Chains A and B, each alone.
Chain A
């Protein structure tokens, strides 16, 4: 992968549910390795669907996604989607509702995939897991079960679990939306910490303060297309497009 090649290259991406509900209607996005992209926009505008497509969780109607200069996802035209499972393994995702496995303790959640997918030794995986948990201030929770954790702790564990596979890109889908307000900061701190280490990421969020602080680039998505794309100061501060301005004003009015 050369430095100039984009990390993610989305071309002509169309996605509908059952051909009726058109969610993504022709997306073209290029993302560089150093980008931290925040996707904002109204509900139903396709933000979460975009992340799910990037994670390889969805079939697509048309278009393609390249990753690291290689083809990753491709619509074959006959309704089938090819997803390169090897490429998919270099992407990590954190979901809105934690999705920790309830029957495994924290460390069990962290080491499952490294052991089963990569064949890593248990002791080795556990050592890496403990190092990550320590870094996230969760070392004393290693033996706790998900039900015994707060929402903020669960979400930090979910982030650590995704990091165990050394992803080259992290996807965050409204990871603080289900949290009590006082728990939001601890999760956002962890993501900011990752940002400082130059982890490429795509974030869907409704938290404009967070968006402003973490984004190197903001994409406003509505009606299944990219309406505006630019640095945070522009898109959040002085948007060019009327639709973006309306949305930003509405969001900030609700907030204040």
Chain B
């Protein structure tokens, strides 16, 4: 191997990478805020008895689940301004695209865990005199949220990584800064190695927490 690594030029330019990481984390947090709340609403709607509600929501969810995230981002960035004559800034557009994508995936996680609450648990709730609202609040919700937690967190870290895609629409996230730095320093290998380590340093601890929650849930399940 003749290549000689030179990380020094990257280390000299840590500033932009930090800025980029900050933007990436912001995108992730904002997308998760949308994904966790809107996802729950979508899950309730998709279980509706009324087809008028259920079908459009199903379509929405399946659209985001069945098309590549990169196309969704590009579509939001170029098509939405043209079709609806609104442009909210590239970061906002990125957050919207990522947030809606995450909401679709989270809705499925919520729905699956709500439906996994055994019917007998609700019967017990009736037998104890709890009204329908109390049964949802005290029996279904705690179990469903706990059961969906590992998937929600996994989806959440997924969006942290997926957010790298917004670099193609000029959002100045970690990936964008990495690309710029690679061009400036002529050191793409070193730069992207460092960028990868940035992503890893954030994702890995979170995925460890997910693993811990998963094991604890299995120990408690019965």
Contact = CB atoms under 8 A, between A and B. Distances in A.
B126 A55 contact: yes
B62 interface: no
Interface in B184-222: 219-222
B143 interface: yes
Interface residues of A, number: 27
A89 to B, nearest CB: 4
B115 interface: no
B89 interface: no
Contacts of A206: none
A113 B123 contact: no
Contacts of A36: none
Contacts of B146: 103
A97 interface: yes
Contact of A147 (B120, B121, B126, B222): B222
A88 B130 CA distance: 11
B130 A117 contact: yes
A99 B138 contact: no
Contacts of A165: 128-129
B221 A102 contact: yes
Interface in B145-164: 146
A99 B129 contact: no
Contact of B127 (A93, A101, A145): A93
Contact of A99 (B120, B130, B134, B219): B120
B56 interface: no
Nearest to B145: A103
Nearest to B146: A103
A99 B143 contact: no
Contacts of A145: 220
A92 B221 contact: no
A147 B128 contact: no
Contacts of A56: 126
B169 interface: no
A106 to B, nearest CB: 14
A166 B146 CA distance: 31
B214 to A, nearest CB: 15
Contact of B120 (A88, A97, A112, A146): A97
A163 to B, nearest CB: 11
A156 interface: no
Nearest to A52: B123
A255 interface: no
| Most chain B beta-carbon contacts within 10 A, residue among A52, A55, A103 | A103
Interface string A149-182: 0000000000001100100000000000000000
Interface of A: 52, 55-57, 85, 88-89, 91-93, 95, 97, 99-103, 112-113, 116-117, 145-147, 161-162, 165
22 contacts: A52-B123, A57-B127, A85-B129, A88-B126, A92-B127, A93-B124, A93-B127, A97-B118, A97-B120, A99-B121, A101-B143, A102-B221, A103-B142, A112-B130, A113-B129, A113-B130, A116-B138, A117-B129, A147-B219, A147-B220, A162-B128, A165-B128
Q: Lowest 9 CB-CB distances: which A-B pairs, in order?
A: A99-B124, A113-B128, A147-B222, A93-B127, A117-B129, A89-B129, A103-B142, A99-B120, A147-B220
Given A88-B129, A99-B124, A117-B130, 11 more contacts: A85-B131, A95-B127, A97-B120, A101-B121, A102-B221, A102-B222, A113-B128, A116-B130, A147-B221, A162-B128, A165-B128
